[in-house]
Amino acid sequence: MTDAELDDAITTYTALAATVAAHRLLFIAEKTSRTYSDDSDSVDDTEAAWKSAAAEVSLASGGSHGRAAGDMEIGLALSNKLPKIADLLLSGQISEYIARRIVHRTFNIVDPAVLATVEAHIAEAATTWGALSVKKLDDAIDVWVNRYDPAAVRQVRVRVRDRGVDILETKDGVTEVLARLTGADAALFWQRITGMAKGVCKDDPRTLDQRRADAHGALGAGFFHLACQCGSPECSAATDDGRASHVVVHIYSEPETLDAAPDSLMDGDAPLPADPHQRPMNATLVYPDGTRVHPDGTREPQAIIDSSPAECRPTPDSEVSGVEQDWPAGPESAAGPEGKSETAEAPPPNPPPGILVGFGAMPAPLIAALIAKGAKVRHLKPPGTGPESRYRPSTALDEWTRARDLTCRFPHCDRPAQFCEFDHTTPWPQGKTHASGGKMYCKLHHFGKTFWAGWTDSQAADGTITITTPTGQTYTSKPASTLYFPKICTTSAPIDTPPPTPTPPDKVDHIQGYRKRNRAKQRTYRINAERARNTLDNGPPPF
């Protein structure tokens, strides 16, 4: 394919992706409409029906419950309120992102006639908005919303109301934390952690920034000082800061992980050793145009003066000529006493990481450092072979089940097991309180197991569960521990339980005391509240 043909293919498939997205969202809207009735006059709480539909969409889409609910909102808006925008998306003239922003920015328009007028103007211009930034795209939509319904413009909240703390992604045992504080609180916090970071002796191996980061752990443990890590028993600043000894944090690991040694290079800013498995680039490459690339990465553009015979010179169509140089013998190959190559023994594999509940994998050296600082190690006891005689599981059974599951067992749900509830796969007392008959569900999916009509699940002795939706689709979920700890057996003793029965259909329509308003009334309340604020802000100044 030529470059022009590649560009044409990208354009074609971009439009095709928009068409596919439109069909998917409209199918989701149809699915939602068959399960959920958006009736603001209904006395029944329709939240359970909405969440049941979201669970089905989540399983069918392979995404989270929250993403499925968002797609349902977008699909319903395109299907019922914004048909022109839906047509543009179906024909591939606008992207899915633009369609989603239009739905969001027109959300507060309650008059159907006004919404139709605004949509008509937006539809005429939206095909030219593909190159706009997010801010410019929102402004372009708001121009028409503000012209016909000023009270419906989505206002950005005052910055101070957006304050909060978010836990972001965890990689290699390090988690990013985003805090949005008032200026005064940020100054106080910075002063506090800086003072703690400077309270250690000069022999502490950590940099100032590393000590500031570690100060967060001490604050979380309820201490206002940071323990020095110089290693001297006479250091007055080596008082325990509680980061490893005063707070219970669940970390699951295999036995060999507990025997790992702390890594001293995790602190400080000394150069890290070279990777022994990465061969050095110590050859100078010479390209046909005369450019030389030296081992240090520098480029030297120059012509090659080749005095060799013509028949020995590279032909004009040669791609690359260069100086060939053998790699130096590495540690994996060495000459023996008789000049024969001997292969050294491969180094032992690194200990497997542990799992910090709710945050993901934690490298073995970090776990070893916590143990060295006083963290307690407690071995989990496997549950008994027989079922327990009560509804609530014992501490041993509860802890073992959480360690096996690690997260909510509903597919695509990552809610940590420490925030989940023990669910009897077959409702108690017919179902047994046993590891083979129970698993961890978050409150949402435990609630759904009880109240969403037509759902069933079954469980095998190894913890695998099979979920059947109201339409008969089946999905399986295996314990997360099998991904991280494949050597550990999570299979418990088999038990005899009655076959699962679907949730009765009468439970999904009304759940006593679950919400003060049904879903439609709650949405109307939010829209009216935001419109009232906008109307007040748009009024004349109080002269």
- Taking the CA of residue 153 as centre, how many other CA atoms within 13 Å lie in the half-sphere pointing to its CB? 22
- CA-wise closest residue to 418 among 433, 434, 399: 399
8 Å CB contact between 470 and 482: no
Using CA atoms of 258, 263, 268, 273 in order, give the dihedral in degrees to the nearest 10: -150
Using CA atoms of 45, 48, 49, 54 in order, give the dihedral in degrees to the nearest 10: 140
Contacts of 67 (CB under 8 A, 6+ apart): 58, 61
Q: What is the DSSP string of 326-338?
A: PPPP-TTEEE-TT
> Which of helix, strand or coil describes residue 436?
helix
Q: Before 316, cis peptide (omega within 30)? A: no
Contacts of 106 (CB under 8 A, 6+ apart): 81, 82, 115, 118, 119, 122, 141, 145, 152
Q: How many residues make up the chain in this entry?
A: 543
Token pair 């090659």: residue: 304
* pLDDT of the residue at 329: 45
Handedness of CA 400, 63, 419, 452 (dihedral sign): negative
Phi/psi for 189 (5° steps) reads -65, -45
pLDDT values of the chain reduced to their tens digit, one per residue, 543 residues = 888 999 999 999 999 999 999 999 999 999 999 888 776 555 455 777 888 899 999 999 999 999 999 999 999 999 999 999 999 999 999 999 999 999 999 999 999 999 999 999 999 999 999 889 988 999 999 999 999 988 888 875 445 566 788 877 677 667 888 888 877 788 888 889 999 999 999 888 888 988 998 898 888 888 888 889 888 888 988 888 776 665 555 667 666 666 666 655 555 555 555 555 555 555 566 555 566 666 665 666 654 444 445 554 445 444 433 334 444 444 444 444 454 445 556 666 666 777 776 666 777 777 777 777 777 777 777 777 788 888 999 988 998 899 889 899 999 998 888 889 999 998 888 888 998 889 999 999 998 888 888 888 999 988 999 999 988 999 999 998 888 887 777 778 777 777 766 666 655 544 544 556 677 777 787 888 878 877 776 666 554
* pLDDT of the residue at 95: 94
Segment (H or E) for 140: helix 134-148
* pLDDT of the residue at 272: 55
How far CA 208 is from CA of 195, 244, 365, 448, in Å, comes to 10, 20, 21, 49
Separation of CA 440 from chain center:
20
* pLDDT of the residue at 308: 46
